[in-house]
Amino acid sequence: WYRAQAYRAYNQALGRCIRHPKDYAALFLVDSRFRESRWMLNNISKWIRNNAQASDDVNQSVRVVDGFFKRLRGASDGNAPAGSTAKHEETQQKENLLCGLGCEKNAALCAALERLHEASMLSPEEPMKVNAYAKALTSIRALKYEVTSGAKMSKAGPDKVQHVGPSMGAQIDFFLKH
């Protein structure tokens, strides 16, 4: 039942985004099961299924979508000086696209969590860790303040951060102390 509801919500959200021939949308399903089994992608609406892609790296997916929309915007503008978008795209590829969204002081923590996420993807024994690291990393990147305590982030209250539980909080505290 949950899976059916998730697919219904995905298809409904996509349908709300795309209503006209010149409408474009990107929806990210961040779950390792899409990468591991093609049958999950088969539950997506037929009209979009051929354009759905599974990726090992969320950041790479974001860069691909970002590049698409930049090319689309550049084609409709025609006003940008030649070479300016190429330089901008080159700069974007050198830095992590999502780290710039939150507090710069969290860059080292984000880098450490990203390495843990990459390592967890290589370990097929615990696929839930892949999702846990990805979700925590996304939440921390969006923070507008410096992370000073993983324990506070993981406990209920005003400092609670979505997708950061006690285990993740302990790992964050370990990183911050060392």
Q: Where are the domains of the chain?
A: 2-98, 101-177
Cα 146 vs. chain centroid, distance in angstroms?
20
Regions of the chain with pLDDT less than 50: 79-80, 84-100
Residues with Cβ within 8 Å of residue 139, at least 6 apart in sequence? 161, 162, 163, 164
CATH number of 101-177: 1.10.150.110
**CB neighbours (10 Å) of residue 150?**
25
Residue pair 140/111 in contact by the 8 Å Cβ criterion: no
pLDDT in the model for residue 27:
78
Query: How high is the pLDDT of residue 130?
Result: 74
pLDDT at 99: 42
28 CB-near residues (< 8 Å, 6+ apart): 58, 61, 62
pLDDT at position 92 is 42
Q: Which residue has the tokens 């409709």?
A: 76
Quick one: pLDDT at residue 86?
47
- What is the value of pTM for the model shown? 0.45
